[in-house]
Amino acid sequence: MHAEKVIITLFAKDRPGIVQALSDIVLQHKGNWLESSLTRLCGQFTGIVHIEVPAQQKQDLLKSFTEMADHGIHISVQTDEGIESEEGSVDAVQIMVEANDRPGIVEEIATALAAKKINVDHMDTEVESASMAGYQLFRAHLFLALPQGLDEAELEATLQQVSDDVMLSVVED
């Protein structure tokens, strides 16, 4: 039996039962939920899910995903043709970045990382009041894939060039 891979992204107003509805459809079509990243933010629920499904079930699965829009769950699909395998040797690193908040801080960090071919695998950000200082503090928790030959010291130097107020700490496992 030939299986095909499907990656979906989903978006809905948050409410209980979204993951259950999605997982029910995958199971009904004999699919296998391989990996996912799902989150709730600002009253919305969004995510990406990697699924494997028997080839003969694929079209029915995709039709069921389309029908979820009637229930306020919007799904976009990427099939085998657009799915790339992950190859090559990279070093994974987890970092915390703090800086004074300002418009453009995420773009500044992203530009510095992209210039060194550093891939962002996962990023969580927040802005909060710096206690007793009276200004906003930007924080980012990033999981990065460093290209071969780039070490943590060069990563630190790259991010220090963004601004003199950037503080970086590497999170040890």
Neighbour tally for 88: CB within 10 Å = 7
C-alpha gyration radius of the chain: 20
**66 and 98: one domain?**
no
Strands of the 44-54 sheet, one edge to the other: 32-41, 44-54, 3-13, 73-79
The position carrying tokens 């710096």 is 130
Q: How many domains does the chain have?
A: 2
Question: Comparing 84 with 162, which gets the higher pLDDT?
Answer: 162
Domain that holds residue 137: 91-171
The mean pLDDT of 149-156, rounded to a whole number, is 91
- Report the candidate in 5, 11, 2 with the shortest Cα–Cα distance to residue 61: 5
- Report the candidate in 143, 155, 163, 157 with the shortest Cα–Cα distance to residue 98: 163
Domain with 103 in it: what CATH number? 3.30.70.260
Query: What pLDDT does 23 receive?
Result: 96
Question: Comparing 92 with 82, which gets the higher pLDDT?
Answer: 92
pTM for the whole thing?
0.74
Q: To which H or E segment does residue 109 belong?
A: helix 105-115
The mean pLDDT of 105-117, rounded to a whole number, is 94
